[in-house]
Structure 1
């Protein structure tokens, strides 16, 4: 079961990072799990806030927008500006961060093009980090302000054993010797969305050993 021990970190780090879901209605996660994003999100009453031109465009992009939700949180924390998620995704696509395949599927987030995208558009210094262990995240956050970590999406149920690692992105904001704190764009309830706290051992079961650091 999920550990409830307090994280020994500077609480100011996470208190000033607003949370955004990758869906416009955060409570739609379980519907997405049950029906798939492109079906469930057609019923999202708040879809227009995504920046999409229609609900079909929103539903198609939102399933791939965990990285853009993380970026949206970073931008809001840094500047106070709230940029619609699909707007971010379409801008990132121009740099190659997303690729629309002939069958309509969307590939991404692709890390390498994300770096010049956020530098050019928002003045953020980002760097791709690979081949690390969960223990290295503390060293990364000693130099960088945020770490977008690749984890398996089932991290919303930390008591389960994931079938793999990676494929979903969360925004890590703080870490201590034994605990980690993050925002999950697809958490299914408040406790699994905002300022989620897990032991490093638990997080490691889902962590793919890669991500994107956003420097101070």
Structure 2
């Protein structure tokens, strides 16, 4: 495994507008509809925002990548609507399928001219070279990766953005991270695969 330079300068976006309140949203102490910044999302109502905020980790990762490469960053819900139209999310009642990688990458390439590659098999050992080459990687991990010492019940289901790598750790921008585990959060390599499903999307300018 080669070493790449950490890039904590990749901008951070939470999937909730009030990033400092994420622990309260996750625990249920505060309902997402009561997020004081919900209107920044571009949602039409607090209820629309509350439905989508827990489900748009992929949208938040895309916003980080767009900002990193100098593209205008749409608010989260208008961006989500575009991805719904593109088939990257599918809503059936209160059930949501997504982020669906192939329509997502097709939309990202067509809309912003980014490179985007679906990787159904993306070993963690490849991440340092991917990042060293100037790319970013969306990784499917279990949401509890915000506390790397924990034991998740499964792997995958939540998207984070790999933004840096050292000999010891991968650095992740986590859309549902708690303060202190949001931007360039260090996850030791020997802990990553406990959470990581081994698949994702590689993005480039």
Normalised to the residue count of structure 2, the TM-score between the two structures is 0.92
* 5+ residue gaps, structure 1: 1-7
Cα pair distance change 1:80/1:114, threshold 3 Å: closer
Query: Is 2:41 aligned against 1:50?
Result: yes
Once residues 115 and 208 of structure 1 are traced to their aligned partners in structure 2, the CA distance between those partners, rounded to angstroms, is 19
Q: Is the 8 A contact 1:67 1:109 kept in 2?
A: yes
Matches within 5 A, 1:189-200: 189=179, 191-200=180-189
Is 1:89 matched with 2:80?
yes
C-alpha RMSD of the superposition: 1.8
What secondary structure, in the 3-state scheme, does the structure 2 residue paired with 1:214 have? strand
Q: C-alpha separation between the residues in 2 aligned to 1:182 and 1:65?
A: 17
Check the 8 A contact 2:5/2:132 in 1, yes or no.
no
DSSP 3-state at the match of 1:63: helix
Determine the structure 2 residue equivalent to 1:156.
Answer: 146
**Could you tell me how far 1:107 is from its partner in structure 2?**
1.6
Pair 49,95 (structure 1): closer, same or farther in 2 beyond 3 Å: same
Task: Measure how far apart 1:144 and its partner are.
Answer: 5.2
Q: Say which of 1, 5, 11 aligns to 1:10.
A: 5
How many equivalent residue pairs? 203
Aligned position for 2:51: 60
| Higher share of residues assigned helix | 1
Q: Please tell me whether residue 117 in structure 1 is matched to residue 110 in structure 2.
A: no
CA contact (8 A) 2:42 2:77 kept: yes
Contact (CA 8 Å) 1:21, 1:184: kept in 2 or not?
yes
Q: Secondary structure at the match of 2:8?
A: helix
What is the deviation of 1:28?
2.6
Q: Match of 1:185?
A: 175
Contact 2:4 2:128 in 1 (8 A): no
Match of 1:73 in 2: 64
TM-score by length of 1: 0.88
State the Cα deviation string for residues 146-193 of structure 1 (Å, max 9, x = none): 00111100001111111111010111011233321110011111x200
